[in-house]
């Protein structure tokens, strides 16, 4: 039996209604920006496999470091123990994080990273005897699929069956520039009549909401007001982190820095699963006490897994290298040139770019999931390009290491779609 037939016997895939999408595409190998199918076809990975493999698949520098680590220390409990890869990662990461970040808490993935960020915000106030139990979030945000993360997420397509079980959340619109005053006014009113513990947000780019981008000045003002009111600011940089926005983190565009940051995806360069929740000394100090119950009693079996930490260290070493920084600049320029080519096309609207993230909307009415979206996906895959439309939004978030030839292929396949849709 081939992989498809064997897959269908037992496997349940994420974000899939199997009755109408019965087959998964078998991938047998990945290298650089290319995914290799079981049938011999090649696909350019235009979204870096959900924004993880930013230095290319099976990067030999990263795999070599991890292979060596696996011969020395594979796994050890992180409660009561420590090890060199975890300590070194903390030292390397602190160098590139916003300067107020001081402590790192290991977890498993993006959803648990935000889950812990939410718990930090709520328990920060609980430990001080403050009656604050409400979270604030942006409309249309997405922060993961565990219960706290779902609670603060605003995309109901993911959360409908679970709404009665959520923590209490208030929402404000994202600041777009022209609406900043209205957003700030709404924020101040909510703060005045509610016991808000924390504000969780995707800084500048809302990934799952179809790469919607918002105004840095407006977000900065929101953060300042929250900080003035001792509301813990939790930046979900799971998608935006590690160079994708043109800076190490989207928070680097802002004067007011988050109290807590949530990291995953490109953290380990797509090689191994891991998440991190970092925080300021002020947040950490609210948990530092002789009373054991004031500790953050959250743990994962694979917290600070040594090979995963090693992958993250290697990824950071690449990220800060001159070679990768130049490749990021090259991709940014290529996107800008492509944008110039398609900006006047009748089917193109709402073009947007931040760093290597490029997106636009099709001037066509369609559902987020449906036949037309599936036709778009099929067009890309039939032409050897893996892009995953979010409703009528087409976006590119390829590895930093993608070649110009591969980028040009992505652009040409998009243009073919525009001319036939």
**Among 371, 320, 270, which residue's Cα sits nearest to residue 45?**
270
Which H or E element spans position 329? helix 322-342
Statement to judge: residues 243 and 381 lie in one domain:
no
220 lies in the same domain as 364: no
301 is in an annotated binding site: yes
Q: Are residues 316 and 327 in the same domain?
A: no
**Does 156 belong to an annotated binding site?**
no
Q: Residue 408 in contact with residue 402, Cβ under 8 Å?
A: no
333 is in an annotated binding site: no
Q: Tell me what pLDDT residue 233 has.
A: 99
- Last residue within a domain, chosen from 294, 320, 346: 320
Q: What is the pLDDT of residue 156?
A: 67
* C-beta separation of 170 from 196 below 8 A: yes
Q: Are residues 46 and 105 in the same domain?
A: no
Task: Report residues of the chain scoring pLDDT below 70.
Answer: 156, 369
The answer to whether the pTM exceeds 0.95 is: yes
How far apart, in whole angstroms, are the C-alpha atoms of residue 80 and residue 28?
Answer: 39
Check the annotation: does 236 bind a ligand.
yes
Q: Which token pair is 295?
A: 């500790």
- Answer yes or no: is 255 a known binding residue: no
If one counts the domains in the chain, the total is 2
The secondary structure of 32-101 as a DSSP string is BTEEEETTS-EEEETTHHHHT-TT-BT-HHHHHHHHHHHTT-----SSS---HHHHHHHHHHHHHS-TTE
Range of the domain at 73: 62-320
Check whether 143 is labelled as a binding-site residue.
Answer: no
Overall residue count recorded for the chain in this entry: 421
Q: Which of 300, 320, 340 is the last residue of a domain?
A: 320
The confidence score (pLDDT) of residue 155 equals 74
Tell me, yes or no, whether 150 and 180 share the same domain.
Answer: yes
> Is 10 labelled as part of a ligand binding site?
no
Asked if 316 and 326 sit in the same domain, the reply is no
DSSP-based three-state secondary structure for 302? coil
Confirm whether residue 110 is marked as ligand binding: yes
- Where does a domain end: 320, 336, 354? 320
What distance lies between CA 51 and its chain's CA centroid? 7
Q: Is 149 helix (H, G, I), strand (E, B) or coil?
A: helix
50 is in an annotated binding site: yes
Phi, psi of 350 (to 5 degrees): 50, 55
Q: What is the pLDDT of residues 120-146, one digit of tens each?
A: 999 999 999 999 999 999 999 999 999
């Amino acid at each position: 039996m081939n992989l498809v037939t064997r897959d269908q016997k037992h496997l349940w895939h994420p974000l899939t209604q199997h009755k109408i999408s019965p087959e998964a595409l078998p991938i047998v190998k990945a290298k650089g920006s290319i995914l290799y199918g079981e049938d011999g076809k090649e696909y350019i990975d235009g979204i870096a496999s959900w924004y993880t493999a930013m230095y290319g698949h099976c990067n030999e520098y990263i795999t070599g470091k991890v292979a060596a680590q696996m011969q020395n220390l594979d796994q050890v409990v992180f409660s009561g123990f420590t090890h060199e890869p975890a300590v070194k990662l903390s030292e390397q990461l602190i160098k590139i994080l916003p300067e107020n970040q001081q402590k790192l808490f290991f977890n498993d993935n993006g959803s648990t990273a935000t889950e812990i960020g939410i718990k930090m915000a709520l328990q920060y106030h609980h430990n001080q005897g403050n009656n604050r139990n409400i979270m604030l979030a942006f409309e249309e945000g997405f922060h993961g699929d565990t219960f706290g993360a779902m609670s603060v997420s605003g995309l109901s397509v993911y959360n409908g069956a679970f709404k009665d079980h959520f923590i209490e959340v208030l929402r404000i619109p994202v600041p777009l520039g022209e609406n900043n005053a209205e957003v700030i006014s709404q924020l101040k009113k909510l703060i005045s009549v509610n016991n808000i513990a924390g504000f969780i947000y995707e800084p500048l780019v809302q990934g799952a909401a179809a790469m919607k981008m918002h105004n840095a000045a407006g977000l900065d003002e929101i953060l300042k007001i929250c900080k003035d009111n001792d509301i813990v600011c939790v930046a979900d940089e799971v998608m935006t982190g590690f160079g994708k926005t043109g800076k190490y983190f989207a928070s680097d565009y802002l004067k007011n820095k988050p109290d807590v940051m949530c990291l995953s995806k490109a953290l380990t360069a797509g090689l191994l699963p891991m998440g991190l929740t970092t925080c300021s000394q002020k947040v950490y100090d609210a948990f530092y006490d002789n009373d054991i119950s004031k500790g953050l009693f959250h743990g994962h079996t694979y917290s600070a897994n040594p090979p995963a930490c090693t992958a993250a260290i290697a990824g950071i070493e690449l990220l800060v290298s001159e070679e990768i920084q130049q490749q990021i600049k090259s991709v940014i320029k290529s996107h800008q040139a492509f944008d110039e080519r398609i900006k006047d096309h009748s089917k193109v609207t709402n073009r947007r770019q931040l760093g290597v993230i490029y997106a636009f909307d099709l001037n066509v009415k369609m559902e987020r999931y449906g036949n037309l979206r599936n036709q778009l996906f099929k067009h890309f895959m039939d032409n050897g390009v893996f892009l995953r439309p979010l409703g009528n939004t087409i976006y590119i978030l390829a590895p930093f290491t993608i070649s110009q030839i591969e980028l040009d292929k992505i652009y040409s396949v998009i243009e073919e779609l525009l001319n036939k849709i």
